[in-house]
Chain A
Amino acid sequence: EAGVAQSPRYKIIEKRQSVAFWCNPISGHATLYWYQQILGQGPKLLIQFQNNGVVDDSQLPKDRFSAERLKGVDSTLKIQPAKLEDSAVYLCASSLEGHYGYTFGSGTRLTVV
């Protein structure tokens, strides 16, 4: 089966600019997650979707981050405006509803300068 697709792989922007990341989960996976992985740290959950509804966004900095999952399939994560501390790898993962196995995408590496 095809894996979790993410784009772009790399992005460099200046602080205060905006950026968007895209994720296409595995077909049929109802649950989608966005994680932020800062260099030297473990991934941290930003937001969890179940189909097109948000289950948990308690760790999402809502003043600058937003995410949506249209039609319960693809998802977009946006940052506006970006700060230097947003430099990280943004990982998307998906899983079947109620299933314990996640599949991760390769991530988008964001550098804010």
Chain B
Amino acid sequence: AQSVTQLDSQVPVFEEAPVELRCNYSSSVSVYLFWYVQYPNQGLQLLLKYLSGSTLVKGINGFEAEFNKSQTSFHLRKPSVHISDTAEYFCAVRGNDYKLSFGAGTTVTVRA
């Protein structure tokens, strides 16, 4: 079975500053890793995913994440955030059973 730990429950950040959201996973098999964003009163939208290949993954809205197998991490970064990036961010892991397991989420609040 696989599980995900998001190390920060809330991340306040000023507009145009960089942000990093931390995610660690545990799994006994090969994993596929995802980051989703959830805006208020909306469903989950895929930001990016790691399936194989390059460990640096680029996603939508200027986000990127780096897969680190030795540290079992998949941290999400954005070099310069906007007010519109205020949302809940979820890290998720999927094993060979095709089921997604989510972390508890990180609330990002961008302030002017």
Contacts and interface: CB of A to CB of B under 8 A. Distances in A.
A91 B36 CA distance: 14
B53 interface: no
Contact of B98 (A40, A95, A105): A95
Central interface residue in A4, A98, A102, A106, by most chain B CB within 10 Å? A102
Interface string A50-78: 00000010000000000000000000000
A96 B32 CA distance: 16
Interface stretch (A13-21, A41-49, A80-88): A41-49
A24 B103 CA distance: 26
B46 A45 contact: no
Contacts, number: 54
Contacts of B105: 40-42
A100 B32 contact: yes
Q: Secondary structure at chain B's binding surface: helix, strand, loop or mixed?
A: strand
Interface residues of A, number: 23
Contacts of B97: 56
B44 A91 contact: yes
Interface string B38-60: 00011111100101000000000
B87 interface: no
B100 A45 contact: yes
Interface of B: 4, 6, 32, 36, 41-46, 49, 51, 90, 92, 94, 97-105
